[in-house]
């Protein structure tokens, strides 16, 4: 964090209306902020008026329509950004000394950039992402970078409510009459206020208090894979989201077309973080889980741990390949086909020859299908030609090449023959192949012959409905193995495209034709004609773009879409198969990968970034680390550290930035008293604030009735990435016993609280939690609900 060593504060008048000395400063800031809001209002009014005009216009040339469409989009986006900037428009100010700036300079920092049109377009407000705003996050007393004072400005409803100053150089501090206080309270004040605030169900942006180590990652210019490793609560998610906003600001042209994809662990998490980017005025980002990344399929099933592990491992690739080959069948007995009074036969050998030809093309199954079909038709055409074209006089075959082509076409149109080909080499969809495979012991026995009977049983399911999150990468892989026979679609698209170019050409002709006649004979070389500005193909492209949806919408529906940048959060949870699916969407490998290998809970998740990334980028990835915990108070982190030591004795425990003053505690009750005690404890959680009960799926089912508006009952998987003011962990031993990642799960559960943590158990308390303060259950239950918590 910025180390401001000399601080002063300005406050509002007290209740008697007496002003503190600094209030003049506050009033000055109020007048400046009022100017900024007036500018914002003017920008908003302009965008609204222009948008209205654009919407009212109708008809016109295709070019005019396309221009209107892009203006429509531009003004709508502007209005979204202005609305997002309304709260806390300006939150900071930098004073720079005359040596650094050309002259002593002030820079105001805020949610968007505002220029002064009347004054040579001088910046009135700098967007927090602009390079000139950077010292706000980086300058320290040791490296002030020309900054003499950093000011935090807090406002509500357009009114400045407080200002806090940090002096980064001694002379400036002395000139302001500020004494050296007890170590950097200035910036910490804003940070601690943000961290201590009660949580809601949505994450907030952190642009007012981004810390130095976070800023370096947010603005990293690294063009390959940037790994952000960090313990719980170190701001990895916050940093990832602000990096997305930064990249969209800095590389807008490039990323607006290709889009940014953010992958999170589950839908609850995406909902939790979903407001951050819109609050920063950025809407063009697609948020998705791995389970929902395959278009048209939503993950509705849950796999057992072994099935998830098997589906996540690369060895499943061979199973999928065999499942597809298994559908390219050879008949046991010859297939008899009747065609116009002739009997034709497809025997095993002929089909095997056709299959060999198709397979040796090395095309995906559906794209190799036409080759198989042609080979079969050749075979049948040969048989038919033999029957009808042989010269009875012994003159060989009398049919010409054209006759043979005609025969092949007729055979192709025969439904019996089409059916036979369809049964031997069917056109396949990924969803059907996977559902068929997983619901059929016979198919599994062939495709997964290498697996043990137990593993095949783990994969087998009784019905064909729905898919799990671990199935999505398999569907994606099958889509690659099957391919799409899009010959007909491509033909149609080509025809449509030719038509669009022809229309655009007409439009250009009309435009040019409408130019004054005298120009026809004596073309003014200075006058740009429509042809000079745009050719028919470009115009058609523009029109096409205008008809389509936003980048994020188009990307969501297109499996083969490739993004400009991909961010993976809780990346330790991704299986090897999930990485394949993600990497397919980002061939340029410009990614931000965020996670903590100590929190891995998925049976197919990773324990090493090197292992995951090496196959895709070799050594070309960079690791960064976040080390400060902004969420979990020190008292809770001391307990969590014990668990971390059992996961990885060498792991660095993130340093908590604050203490809560409440030691985490435990209470033991009889098994039958779990629910009643939990209810008492929850009722005692202070308002306002959010509460979570965390346990195994079975415990969650038992306690689900405790969920209400502010209390959620969650498994560790569901709680991943989230945080709550109060956390109650129930039966921690069951979490430990649940699987190979039990310790990681307990670590995740322990680190979700921003204020208070309690543990409720009937079984013995795990030894690793011995540091909790025990609380006698009887005393707790006898007390009235509001006093349920120990002081």
Ligand X SMILES: Nc1ncnc2c1ncn2[C@@H]1O[C@H](COP(=O)(O)OP(=O)(O)OP(=O)(O)O)[C@@H](O)[C@H]1O
Report the binding-site residues for ATP. 230-237
Work out whether strand 122-127 and strand 114-116 pair parallel, antiparallel, or are unpaired.
antiparallel
Which residues between 618 and 657 bind ligand X (CB under 6 A)? 630-631
The count of chain residues that interact with ligand X, using the rule CB under 6 A, is: 24
Of 85, 172, 173, 191, which one interacts with ligand X (CB under 6 A)? 191
Residues of this chain, 749-778, that bind ligand X according to CB under 6 A: 751
Structure tokens at 766: 């795990």
Give the integer Cα–Cα distance in Å for 474 and 615: 19
Binding site listing = 230-237
Cα separation, 740 vs 80, whole angstroms? 46
Binding of ligand X at residue 264 (CB under 6 A)?
no
**Where does this chain touch ligand X (CB under 6 A) — which range of 168-176, 205-213, 299-307, 555-563?**
205-213
Residue 234 touching ligand X (CB under 6 A)? yes
Radius of gyration of the chain (CA): 33
Q: Which of residues 567-606 bind ligand X (CB under 6 A)?
A: 596
365 burial via Cβ count (<10 Å: 0-12, 13-18, 19+): buried
Give exposure, 78-92, as e/b (b: 16+ Cβ within 10 Å): beebbebbeebbbbb
Length reported for the chain: 791
Alpha-carbon distance of 571 to 227, in angstroms, equals: 9
Which range touches ligand X (CB under 6 A), out of 43-51, 199-207, 676-684, 739-747?
199-207
CA atoms within 13 A on the CB side of 258: 18
Q: In what order do the strands lie in the sheet with 90-96?
A: 6-10, 159-167, 147-156, 90-96, 105-110, 122-127, 114-116
Site stretch for ligand X (CB under 6 A), options 48-56, 133-141, 202-210, 710-718: 202-210
Q: Of the two residues 218 and 508, which places its CB atom closer to ligand X in the complex?
A: 218
Q: Which is nearer to ligand X, 203 or 421 (CB)?
A: 203
Strands of the sheet containing 260-264, edge to edge, are 285-289, 260-264, 565-568, 591-595, 225-230, 621-626
- For ligand X, which residue has the nearest CB? 235
User: Does residue 265 belong to the site contacting ligand X (CB under 6 A)?
Assistant: no
Distance CA 456, CA 495 (A): 48
Q: Which of 188, 309, 723, 726 binds ligand X (CB under 6 A)?
A: 723
Binding residues for ligand X restricted to 272-311, rule: CB under 6 A: none
Does 566 help bind ligand X (rule: CB under 6 A)?
A: no
Q: Per CB under 6 A, does 211 bind ligand X? A: yes
Checking DSSP bridges between strand 90-96 and strand 147-156, what pairing results, if any?
antiparallel
Q: Which is nearer to ligand X, 123 or 278 (CB)?
A: 278
Interaction of residue 206 with ligand X, rule CB under 6 A: yes
**φ, ψ (nearest 5 deg) of residue 600:** -60, 125
- Of 30-38, 189-197, 340-348, 448-456: span binding ligand X (CB under 6 A): 189-197
Q: Which residues pair with 288 in a beta bridge?
A: 263
Residue 238 near ligand X by CB under 6 A? yes
Of 56-64, 228-236, 335-343, 357-365, the segment contacting ligand X by CB under 6 A is 228-236
* Interface region with ligand X, contact rule CB under 6 A, candidates 206-214, 498-506, 554-562, 644-652: 206-214
Q: How far apart are CA 334 and CA 283, in angstroms?
A: 60
233 scored as a contact of ligand X (CB under 6 A): yes
Supply the minimum distance, in Å, between the C-beta of residue 638 and ligand X: 17
Give residues 430-489 in contact with ligand X (rule: CB under 6 A): none
Binding residue for ligand X, selected from 209, 624, 696, 744, defined by CB under 6 A: 209
Please tell me the distance from the alpha carbon of residue 54 to that of residue 405, in angstroms, as a whole number. Answer: 57
Q: Does 232 bind ligand X (CB under 6 A)?
A: yes
Least Cα distance to 616 among 594, 646, 640, 590 occurs for 590
Residue with tokens 């039958």: 672
Q: Which of 195, 317, 541, 675 binds ligand X (CB under 6 A)?
A: 195
Task: List residues binding ligand X (CB under 6 A).
Answer: 191, 194-195, 203-204, 206, 209-211, 214, 230, 232-238, 596, 630-631, 721, 723, 751
């Amino acid at each position: 964090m910025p180390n401001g060593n000399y601080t002063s504060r300005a406050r509002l008048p007290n209740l008697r209306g007496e002003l503190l000395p600094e209030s003049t400063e506050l009033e000055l800031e109020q007048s400046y902020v009022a100017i900024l809001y007036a500018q914002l209002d003017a920008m908003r009014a302009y965008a609204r008026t222009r948008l209205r005009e654009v919407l009212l216009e109708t008809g016109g040339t295709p070019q005019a329509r396309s221009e209107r469409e892009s203006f429509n989009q531009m003004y709508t986006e502007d209005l979204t950004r202005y609305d997002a900037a309304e709260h806390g428009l300006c939150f900071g100010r930098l004073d720079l000394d005359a040596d650094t700036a050309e002259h002593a300079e002030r820079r105001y920092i805020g949610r968007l950039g505002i220029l002064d049109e009347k004054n040579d377009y001088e910046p009135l407000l700098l967007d927090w992402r602009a390079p000139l705003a950077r010292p706000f996050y980086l300058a320290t007393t040791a490296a002030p970078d020309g900054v003499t004072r950093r000011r935090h400005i807090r406002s509500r409803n357009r009114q400045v409510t407080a200002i806090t100053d940090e002096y980064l150089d001694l002379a400036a501090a002395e000139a302001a009459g500020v004494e050296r206080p007890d170590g950097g309270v200035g910036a910490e004040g804003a940070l601690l206020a943000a961290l201590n605030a009660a949580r809601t169900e949505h994450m907030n942006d952190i642009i007012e208090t981004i810390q130095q180590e976070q800023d370096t990652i947010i603005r990293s210019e690294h063009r390959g894979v940037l790994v952000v490793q960090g313990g719980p609560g170190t701001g990895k998610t916050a940093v990832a989201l602000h990096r997305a906003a930064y990249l969209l600001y800095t590389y807008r042209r490039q990323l607006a077309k290709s889009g940014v994809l953010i992958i999170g662990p589950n839908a609850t998490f995406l909902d939790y973080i979903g407001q951050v980017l819109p609050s920063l005025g950025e809407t063009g980002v697609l948020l998705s889980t791995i389970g929902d990344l395959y278009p048209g399929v939503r993950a509705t099933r849950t796999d057992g741990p072994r099935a998830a592990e098997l589906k996540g491992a690369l060895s499943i690739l061979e199973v999928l390949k065999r499942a597809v080959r298994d559908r390219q069948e050879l008949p046991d007995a010859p297939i008899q086909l009747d065609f116009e009074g002739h009997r034709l036969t497809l025997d095993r050998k002929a089909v095997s020859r056709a299959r060999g030809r198709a397979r040796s093309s090395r095309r995906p199954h559906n794209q190799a299908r036409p080759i198989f079909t042609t080979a079969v038709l050749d075979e049948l055409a040969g048989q038919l030609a033999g029957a009808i074209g042989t010269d009875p006089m012994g003159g060989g075959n009398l049919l010409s090449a054209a006759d043979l082509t005609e025969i092949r076409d007729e055979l192709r149109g025969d439904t019996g023959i089409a059916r036979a080909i369809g049964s031997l080499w069917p056109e396949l969809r990924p969803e059907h192949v996977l559902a068929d495979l997983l619901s059929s012991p016979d198919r599994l026995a062939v495709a997964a012959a290498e697996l043990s009977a137990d593993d095949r049983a783990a994969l087998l399911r009784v019905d064909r409905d729905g898919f799990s999150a671990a199935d999505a990468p398999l569907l994606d892989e099958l889509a690659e193995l099957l391919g799409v026979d899009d010959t007909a679609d491509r033909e149609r698209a080509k025809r449509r495209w030719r038509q669009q170019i022809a229309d655009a050409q007409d439009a250009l002709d009309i435009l040019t034709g409408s130019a004054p006649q005298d120009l026809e004979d004596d073309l003014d070389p200075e006058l740009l004609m429509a042809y000079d500005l745009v050719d028919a193909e470009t115009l058609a492209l523009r029109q096409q773009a205008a008809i389509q949806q936003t980048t994020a919408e188009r990307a969501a529906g297109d499996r083969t879409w490739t993004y400009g940048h991909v961010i993976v959060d809780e990346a330790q949870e991704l299986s090897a198969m999930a990485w394949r699916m993600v990497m397919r969407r980002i061939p340029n490998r410009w990614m931000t990968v965020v996670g903590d290998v100590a929190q891995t809970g998925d049976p197919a998740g990773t324990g090493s970034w090197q292992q995951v990334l090496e196959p895709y980028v070799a050594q070309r990835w960079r690791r960064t680390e976040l080390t400060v915990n902004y969420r979990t108070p020190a008292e809770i982190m001391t307990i969590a550290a014990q668990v971390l030591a059992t996961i990885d004795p060498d792991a660095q425990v993130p340093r908590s930035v604050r203490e809560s003053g409440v030691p985490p505690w435990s209470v033991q009750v009889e098994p039958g008293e779990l629910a009643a005690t939990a209810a008492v404890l929850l009722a005692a959680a202070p308002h306002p604030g959010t509460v979570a009960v965390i346990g195994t799926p079975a415990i969650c089912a038992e306690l689900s009735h405790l969920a209400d508006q502010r209390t959620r009952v969650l498994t560790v998987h569901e709680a991943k990435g989230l945080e709550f003011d109060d956390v109650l962990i129930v039966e921690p031993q069951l979490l430990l016993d649940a699987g190979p990642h039990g310790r990681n799960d307990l670590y995740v559960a322990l680190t979700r609280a921003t204020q208070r943590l309690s543990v409720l158990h009937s079984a013995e308390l795990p030894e690793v939690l011995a540091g909790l303060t025990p609380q006698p259950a009887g005393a707790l239950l006898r007390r009235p609900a509001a006093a349920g918590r120990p002081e």
